[in-house]
């Protein structure tokens, strides 16, 4: 049986930028807000953190800062995935040296690979680090995904702890959990699928919405962990509009926009991400107004 890296709510945290680097003062404020509101873990330099447009020095510095700021109060999971296995290993080893609790590694994108290649890619890194790896399945972004049989093979490695599942494929999730049992943990990678995935056996949620509503997402995960799925379902449905609005355009465009609307001052998006279309911005504002997030 593999102990999950975390249970409950994990925030895929945004990276606040200045004009030419990371705004660490603001980043520290965001981290403290998450901890104060019951978040169980933080993913730093993931998709929501715009890691794909960070330089290597920025990435390494952001991971290191997050780990030092958290100071062991909750888990820190560093995003270290790449379409280049050697680069993924370098980032992973640096995160481990900085004190990360675990790694989040997305499937290789653009050049992609076969299922055999996926196994070789992850085992190569897992053999060379000493902390757990969480796989990340998001085929809508990477153009490829895992099969349940590949999950089963990778679950045999002691350093591969589980997967952030953002495929939206419930049949894949059910087959994976059936095949792998307690040797493989699974977390929801889509906010709007938290309750059904946790009902199947997911250990929690790696969330975008918790950047603006950490207390509510923490409560949602906690209700599921307690087996109170009726109340959890009510809560998730009450948040459906904001969950939908935060993905009306490519993540993290809407969530960073929402945070700025709330006065969090997290800075601009990095190109090629850009400001929201006016019609989508109005939908986001209305969803936020209905929840009292802005007036």
| Residue 165, in any domain of the structure | yes
Task: Say if residue 88's pLDDT is above 90.
Answer: yes
CA-nearest of 193, 245, 186 to 217 is 193
Residue 279 belongs to some domain of the structure: no
List the alpha helices (DSSP H) in 201-274: 214-225, 229-238, 240-245, 253-261
Check residue 269 and report its DSSP letter. Answer: P
Does residue 27 register a pLDDT over 90? Answer: yes
Average model confidence (pLDDT) across the chain: 97
Catalytic site positions: 136, 164
Return all residues near 132 (Cβ < 8 A) that are at least 6 apart.
Answer: 5, 101, 102, 103, 159, 160, 161
pLDDT exceeds 90 at position 183? yes
What CA–CA distances, in Å, run from 180 to 107, 112, 210? 19, 24, 29
* pLDDT bracket for residue 174 (50, 70, 90): very high
Residue-level pLDDT at 1 = 86
Domains in the chain, number: 1
The mean per-residue pLDDT over the stretch 212-225 comes to: 98
Query: Which residues span the domain enclosing 170?
Result: 8-227
**Looking at residues 168-178, what average pLDDT do you find?**
97
Percent of the chain at pLDDT > 70 equals: 100
Using the predicted structure, report yes or no on whether residue 19 has a pLDDT greater than 90.
no
Does pLDDT of 293 surpass 90?
A: yes
Give pLDDT tens digits for 121-138: 999 999 999 999 999 999
Q: What is the pLDDT of residues 162-171, one digit of tens each?
A: 999 999 999 9
Q: What is the pLDDT of residue 172?
A: 98
Q: Is residue 213 part of a domain?
A: yes
Q: What is the CATH number of the domain that holds 136?
A: 3.20.20.70
Q: How confident is the model over 103-122, as pLDDT tens digits?
A: 999 999 999 999 999 999 99
Give pLDDT, residue 241.
97
The answer to whether residue 92 sits within a structural domain is yes
Query: Is position 44 within any domain?
Result: yes
Mean pLDDT to the nearest integer, 266-275: 96
Give the model's pLDDT for residue 221: 98
108 part of a folded domain: yes
Q: Tell me what the mean pLDDT of segment 71-75 comes to.
A: 98
Q: Tell me what the mean pLDDT of segment 35-41 comes to.
A: 98
Q: Is 80 inside a domain boundary?
A: yes
Which pLDDT value is given to residue 40? 98
């Amino acid at each position: 049986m593999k102990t999950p890296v975390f249970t409950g709510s994990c925030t895929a945290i945004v990276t606040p930028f200045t004009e030419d680097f990371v705004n660490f003062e603001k980043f520290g404020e965001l981290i403290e807000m998450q901890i104060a509101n019951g978040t169980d873990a933080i993913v730093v330099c993931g998709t929501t953190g715009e890691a794909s447009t960070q330089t290597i020095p920025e990435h390494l510095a952001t991971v290191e800062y997050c780990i030092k700021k958290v100071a062991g109060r909750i888990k820190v999971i560093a995003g270290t995935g790449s379409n280049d296995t050697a680069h993924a290993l370098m980032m992973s080893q640096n995160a481990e040296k900085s004190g990360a609790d675990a790694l989040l590694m997305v499937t290789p994108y653009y050049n992609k690979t076969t299922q055999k290649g996926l196994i070789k890619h992850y085992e190569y890194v897992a053999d060379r680090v000493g902390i757990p790896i969480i796989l990340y399945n998001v085929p809508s972004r990477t153009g490829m995904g895992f099969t349940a049989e590949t999950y089963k093979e990778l679950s045999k490695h002691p350093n591969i702890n589980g997967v952030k599942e953002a495929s939206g494929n419930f049949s894949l999730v059910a087959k994976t959990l059936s095949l792998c049992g307690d040797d493989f943990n699974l977390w929801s990678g889509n906010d709007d699928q938290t309750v059904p995935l946790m009902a199947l056996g997911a250990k929690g949620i790696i969330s975008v919405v918790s950047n603006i509503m950490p207390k509510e997402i923490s409560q949602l995960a906690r209700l599921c962990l307690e087996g109170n799925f009726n109340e959890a379902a009510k809560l998730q449905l009450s948040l459906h509009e904001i969950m939908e609005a935060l993905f009306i355009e490519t993540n993290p465009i809407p969530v960073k926009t929402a945070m700025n609307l709330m006065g969090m001052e997290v800075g601009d998006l990095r190109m090629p991400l850009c400001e929201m279309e006016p019609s989508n911005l109005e939908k986001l504002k209305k969803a936020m107004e209905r929840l009292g997030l802005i007036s």
